[in-house]
Amino acid sequence: MSSDNPLLKNINTLKGVGPKMSEHLSKLGLYQIQDLLFHLPLRYQDRTRIYAISSVEQGQEVLIEGTVDHCSILFKQRRMMICQLSDNSGTTITLRFFHFSNAQQKNLSKGTLVRCFGEIRQGHHSLEIVHPEYKIITEHSPLELTDRLTPTYPSTKGLQQKTLHRLTAEAIKHIEQLEETFPDSLRQKYKLMTLAEALITLHQPTPESSVEQLLNTNHPAQQRLIFEELIAHHLSLRKFREYSRQIKGVQLSGNDNLTNRLLASLPFTLTHAQQRVIKEIKQDMQQSYPMGRLVQGDVGSGKTLVAASAALTAIETGYQVALMVPTEILAEQHFKSFTEWFEPLKLRVTLLSGKQKVALRRDNIENIALGLSKIVIGTHALFQDAVTFQKLGLLIIDEQHRFGVHQRLALREKGKQGDCYPHQLVMTATPIPRTLAMTAYADMDYSVIDELPSGRKPINTVVLPNTRREAIIERINAVCLQGAQAYWVCTLIEESEALQCQDAEETLALLTKNLPELQVGLVHGRMSAVEKDAAMHTFKSANTHLLVATTVIEVGVDVPNASLMIIENAERLGLAQLHQLRGRVGRGTASSHCLLMYQAPLSEIAHKRLDALRNSNDGFEISRIDLEIRGPGDVFGTRQTGELQFRIADLLRDQELLLTIQEAAEVIIKKYPEKIEPLIDRWIRTDEDYVHA
Ligand code: ADP
Ligand code: MG
């Protein structure tokens, strides 16, 4: 391709792109004109038809038309204008305005015919639209519908959609200069349209393009790009894997002495699944290249012990281990478990926390550098520059759901000693079907702990409206007085953590007042590390009956005696998150219960989702149902699910494609290796984009 290809020019050569706008564009990863072509619409606005008010659902962005039944100004926390609109489907919807003029109120008087566009939300009493775009319809102003979908792009503050539309149109003028990434034979085999055709369709859908298909992401143009993006990811991960095989790792064989002593000290035996996975890990660690293994195991399947056993193998061979976790609470908890297990073996366990006192931290860092600490547990703080290991042999990453391949690589680099890299073990409870793992984690090997320890009873899940709060509180009182322990999870979904914590504090006050015979504790994200630790410790040692918590306890927390969990506003959380939270109970041998409280009325979808949890305790099953309920047209997007960041593909939604992707990738590797780099370059973001993940 010649260097005067206009698509490769800097984006600031486009008309109207000054320094300020360049800055906005670079925030979106847009530097060259060509990047605009691959900045794909997040969704489409459908202004091609008017929806009956009775047919709209929460989350949709739609046009509706109706007559004003009532319009008034209210003073709640804020002054606002509320307007009730109904159409001949017999349903009413609320329009809510926080900023409005007197003229607006006058114009929206009873009987006025209005057409509006906006996102449907669930209000207190009915569906509503906050600040809709609207127009008043009179005989003289018949409004025309557009005949094509309007793309909505991912954007950033200060950058308008219409600017993105304009710049993209400029880029499309040069699309004939774009290099086709797939060889013709592959395109024909998989019946894919050309790249240029696909991009034009997505950026500027013609009136003939199927609105339905575009909105559901199953238009052939989208399919072509999904295919290409998945192949690009697969190839890039394969490349990492290949590279990992060529570098050196430390061969950790161990004699199982320490592991056997640990196992002998436990009051139970390992499950078969735990034993199998431990064996797989051991085999990996004996290789001359670094292990990269992902262990998936549902909540409560006993991943921590698997980690402990891997750690002992490394320690036995004379190496240190780092265990990285996402939260301080989890770090504290693992610190306690490992101390309990390893101290009798005379192995020093160190907790490294950003919030430790200077002197303690300095001691810890010194012990790590001298090799006296055998296992070091902490959050990201583990990999700050001040921390150097004497001989790091194994890095374990626990419950880092959104931990990307680039972060894993960066950590591996940090652990490099001489020309040797440490082994890596990643543990997650996120259910990942095998085909999906083979693509999403193609750089790693994959094990599943597909068995729970025996004696576990399924958690009995009940769905209740929050009007039953009093009865629930009475029930807590009864069971806790018999020795059980419970969690009360506050789930206020707010931007601000401060509000979440305030909500938890108010709930604490309420429950303390209503449960005078019980000890009630509190843990939330704004407490200091010491306070959090104290709260968790008191709960674990059964000195509090009830622990009020925010979702900070979502991952990893293990208090086997806790057998009751109440989750407020369960309808607002994702199924995966609810399943994780619920996994905090059912860890002992007592029968456990989870009460999911909701704010009525429950939409049909919300109802189905909560039902799914009620009916299953299996993470795989729940994620399958989740996908089915949301359907392929999911507007909220599952793109953030899993570890990889996609522009258009969605690993869950596009699962059926994955086997074909692997097959096509093989063909490219064998027959068209020169296509690998261009594909990867085009689709995979560079390191910088991963820093915030
Ligand atoms: P997760 O897989 O969710 O990380 P944990 O490792 O926290 O699960 O284990 C959950 C609980 O089960 C812990 O209290 C742990 O001690 C216990 N446990 C682990 N393995 C077994 C086993 N084989 N039999 C009985 N209990 C076990
Ligand atoms: Mg765990």
CA distances from 145 to 10, 26, 50, 150, 230 (A): 37, 34, 9, 12, 36
Rounded-to-integer distance, Cα 566 and Cα 224, Å: 45
* Residue 687 predicted with pLDDT over 50: no
* Residue 440 predicted with pLDDT over 80: no
Q: Which of 259, 268, 447 most suits a substitution to test ligand 1, by most atoms within 8 Å of the C-beta?
A: 268
299 CA distance to ligand 2 middle (Å): 7
Rounded-to-integer distance, Cα 486 and Cα 569, Å: 17
- From the CA of 330, which ligand is nearest? 2
Rounded-to-integer distance, Cα 270 and Cα 275, Å: 6
pLDDT of residue 460: 94
pLDDT of residue 519: 96
Beta carbon of 300 within 6 Å of any ligand 1 atom: yes
Q: Which of 303, 305, 337, 457 most suits a substitution to test ligand 1, by most atoms within 8 Å of the C-beta?
A: 305
Strands 392-398 and 423-428: parallel
Residue range 441-447: mean pLDDT, rounded: 86
Q: Give the ligand 1 atom nearest the CA of 305.
A: 6
> Across the chain, what does the average pLDDT equal?
88
Beta carbon of 619 within 6 Å of any ligand 1 atom: no
Q: What is the DSSP letter of 32?
A: B
Closest CA to 127 of 59, 66, 79, 81: 59
Instruction: Give Dmax over CA atoms of the chain in angstroms.
Output: 89
Rounded-to-integer distance, Cα 119 and Cα 113, Å: 19
Q: Give the ligand 1 atom nearest the CA of 455.
A: 25
203 Cβ partners below 8 Å, 6+ apart?
Answer: 37, 40, 41, 151, 168, 169, 172
Closest CA to 381 of 394, 364, 399: 364
pLDDT of residue 142: 66
Highest mean pLDDT, choosing among 365-379, 416-430, 591-605: 365-379
Residue range 384-397: mean pLDDT, rounded: 91
* Residue 227 predicted with pLDDT over 60: yes
564 CA distance to ligand 1 middle (Å): 18
515 CA distance to ligand 2 middle (Å): 31
Q: Which of 304, 323, 561, 585 most suits a substitution to test ligand 1, by most atoms within 8 Å of the C-beta?
A: 304
172 CA distance to ligand 2 middle (Å): 49
Percentage of the chain modeled with pLDDT above 70: 94
Residue range 471-486: mean pLDDT, rounded: 94
pLDDT of residue 512: 95
pLDDT of residue 415: 85
Residue range 499-509: mean pLDDT, rounded: 86
pLDDT of residue 328: 84
CA Rg value for the chain? 28
DSSP-based three-state secondary structure for 317: coil
Of the candidate ranges 97-106, 286-295, 336-345, the one whose mean pLDDT is the lowest = 97-106
Closest CA to 304 of 235, 249, 358, 375: 375
**And the tokens for 655?**
């699962």
For atom 19 of ligand 1, the residue with the nearest CA is: 302
One DSSP character per residue, 330-384 reads: HHHHHHHHHHHHHGGGT-EEEEE-TTS-HHHHHHHHHHHHHT-EEEEEESGGGGS
Q: What is the DSSP letter of 542?
A: T
CA distances from 294 to 231, 305, 423, 431, 615 (A): 21, 15, 12, 12, 28
pLDDT category of residue 9 using cuts at 50, 70 and 90: very high
pLDDT category of residue 480 using cuts at 50, 70 and 90: very high
For atom 10 of ligand 1, the residue with the nearest CA is: 300
pLDDT tens-digit profile of 172-204? Answer: 999 999 988 888 999 999 999 999 999 999 999
pLDDT of residue 632: 42
Tell me the sheet residues that pair with 619: none
pLDDT tens-digit profile of 505-549? Answer: 999 999 999 999 999 999 988 888 888 889 998 999 999 999 999
Question: What values do phi and psi take at 341, rounded to 5?
Answer: -80, -40
124 Cβ partners below 8 Å, 6+ apart?
Answer: none
Beta carbon of 560 within 6 Å of any ligand 1 atom: yes
The one-letter amino acid at 25: L
pLDDT tens-digit profile of 55-68? Answer: 998 888 889 999 99
Residue range 639-651: mean pLDDT, rounded: 62
135 CA distance to ligand 1 middle (Å): 60
Instruction: Measure the CA angle with vertex 383, ends 377 and 384; round to 5°.
Output: 120
pLDDT of residue 685: 66
Closest CA to 559 of 534, 538, 585, 578: 585
* Residue 311 predicted with pLDDT over 70: yes
